[in-house]
Amino acid sequence: MSNPFQKTKMVPVPSHSIIPERDLGKAPILECQHLGIEFGGLKAVNDLNLTIGRTEIAGLIGPNGAGKTTVFNLLTKVYHPTHGTILLDGKDTSGKTTEQINKMGIARTFQNIRLFSNLSVEDNVKIGLHNQEVYSTLSGILRLPSYWKKEKEAHERALELLSIFDMQDMAGMKAGSLPYGAQRRLEIVRALATNPKLLLLDEPAAGMNPSETAELMENIVKIRDTFQIAVLLIEHDMNLVMNICEGICVLNFGEVIAKGTAEEIQGNPVVIEAYLGKKKEG
Partner 1 sequence: MKKMFSNKKTLTNYITYAGVILLFVILQSMSAAGGLSSALKGQLVPVCAYVVMALSLNLTVGVLGELSLGHAGFMSVGAFAGAVAAAALKDVIPAGGLRLLVAMIVGALFAAIAGVIVGVPVLRLRGDYLAIVTLAFGEIIKSIVTNLYVGMDANGLHASFLNPTLHMEGGKIIINGPMGVSGIAKISSFLAGFLLIMVTLVIIFNLVNSRSGRAIMALRDNRIAAESVGINVTKYKLMAFVISAALAGAAGTLFAMGQNTVSASKFDFNTSILVLVFVVLGGLGRMWGSIIAAAALTVLPELLREFSEYRMLIYAIVLILVMLATNNPTFKNFFSKIFKRKGVKNHE
Ligand X SMILES: Nc1ncnc2c1ncn2[C@@H]1O[C@H](COP(=O)(O)OP(=O)(O)OP(=O)(O)O)[C@@H](O)[C@H]1O
Contact string 157-196 vs partner 1 (x = CB under 8 A): ---------------x-----------------xx-xx--
Distance CA 175, CA 256 (A): 36
Binding of residue 64 to partner 1 (CB under 8 A): no
Question: Could you say whether residue 103 binds partner 1 (CB under 8 A)?
Answer: yes
Spatial CB neighbours of 100, under 8 Å, sequence gap ≥ 6 = 77
- Taking every pair of Cα atoms in the chain, the longest distance, rounded to a whole number of angstroms, is 68
Q: CB under 5 to 8 A by kind: which of ligand X, partner 1, Mg ion, none does 191 bind? A: partner 1
N-term to C-term CA, the chain:
36
Among 17, 46, 55, 69, binds partner 1 (CB under 8 A): 69
Residue 167's CB: how many other CB atoms inside 10 A?
A: 20
Q: Does 69 bind Mg ion (CB under 5 A)?
A: yes
Looking at the Cβ atoms of 159 and 238, the one nearer to partner 1 is 159
DSSP string, 227-276: HT-EEEEE-S-HHHHHHH-SEEEEEETTEEEEEE-HHHHHT-HHHHHHHH
Task: Give the dihedral of Cα atoms 156, 159, 163, 166; nearest 10 deg.
Answer: -150
Residue 213 in contact with partner 1, rule: CB under 8 A: no
204/217 Cα distance (integer angstroms): 10
Is 130 a residue that touches partner 1 (CB under 8 A)? yes
Residues that bind partner 1 (CB under 8 A): 69-70, 73, 76, 78-79, 97-99, 102-103, 107-108, 110-112, 114-119, 123, 126-128, 130-131, 133-135, 137, 140-143, 147-148, 150-152, 154-155, 172, 190-191, 193-194
Residues that bind Mg ion (CB under 5 A): 69, 111
